[in-house]
Amino acid sequence: MNINSDSKNFGQRTVLTIYAHADDEVLPAAGTLSLMSKAGWNIRCLILTDGSLSSSPIKGTRHQEADAAGKIIGATYEFYALEEYNFSTQAVIKVTEEAIRRWQPDLIITHAPQPEKYGHRDHEVCAIAVSNVATRKNITLWYSAPPVFLRGFEPNFFVDITSVIEEKVAAIGCYESEVNKAFMQLDAILVLSRFWARELGQKDGYFEAFEISRQCVDASFFYAIANNHQVIKPS
């Protein structure tokens, strides 16, 4: 593990999320990020665009909304101002490489690559570029669940977020400028979290789903699992 960043403690793990738009990160992953934060991870959320072309009536509030969400889930945010619907794979590769240099992440989470006809053009470009860099640099990479369309997404990693479902709902609620969007409807978000529970044969609870694109581990991974039962769970 790299330890040369001055903004994280020695031995602290860092997750870097890279998403096209603010709110892309909380919908599929707020619960997981909150759990990771409680477990001592350093949570860095990078947003490629600043929402200036958003269809929502409230402009320029995305940064404050993200910071408010970050306070709830224990994440710090960084915005880039790439042009929505127009940024290039190359631009995202550059941003990603730069962020990796600064944060030395142990794990990267981004959009699941989806054919453009099913998903958002920006999500697809982001997914391809981030995958390219993570693969080249051999960094563990997870794809998060698309908000609506599941095509091209094959989840193989599920996180029980029941204990932090209220944090997730509150973090999503911070994005007031987006509440008019269909995918921000609370019942749909809860139903999807319950859907993943059903997928796992669980009668109760809420889950988030990820697809592990690639994962490299060393001995510490097995030690962590072996000592899992000794970990004191947050109340």
Interface ranges with Zn ion (CB under 5 A): 20-21, 24
Q: Which is nearer to Zn ion, 24 or 50 (CB)?
A: 24
Shortest Cβ 122–Zn ion spacing (Å): 6
Q: Nearest CA to 47 among 6, 2, 7, 84?
A: 84
Comparison of 124 and 160: residue with beta carbon closer to Zn ion: 124
Residue nearest to Zn ion (CB): 21
Cα–Cα nearest to 119, from 20, 18, 16, 17? 20
Cβ proximity to Zn ion: between 20 and 174 the closer is: 20
Smaller CB distance to Zn ion: residue 40 or 60? 60
Cα–chain center distance at 91: 20
What distance in Å separates the CA atoms of residue 134 and residue 117, rounded to the nearest whole number? Answer: 25
Q: How far is the CB of 155 from Zn ion (least distance, A)?
A: 19
CB of 107 to Zn ion, least distance (A): 20
Interatomic CA distance for residues 206 and 136, integer angstroms:
34
Provide the minimum distance between the beta carbon of 20 and Zn ion in the complex, in angstroms, as a whole number: 5
Neighbours of 215 (CB within 10 A): 12
Find tokens 């008019």 and name the residue: 180
Least Å distance between CB 201 and Zn ion?
31
Between 20 and 164, name the residue whose CB sits nearer to Zn ion: 20
- The beta strand positions in the chain, using DSSP E, are 14-19, 42-47, 75-79, 107-111, 140-144, 157-160, 207-214
CB 59, min distance to Zn ion, A: 16
Which single residue is written with the structure tokens 């669940």? 145
Residue 21 vs 168, nearer CB to Zn ion = 21
In angstroms, what CA-CA distances link 212 with 89, 90, 198? 21, 24, 20
Q: Are 15 and 33 in contact (CB under 8 A)?
A: yes
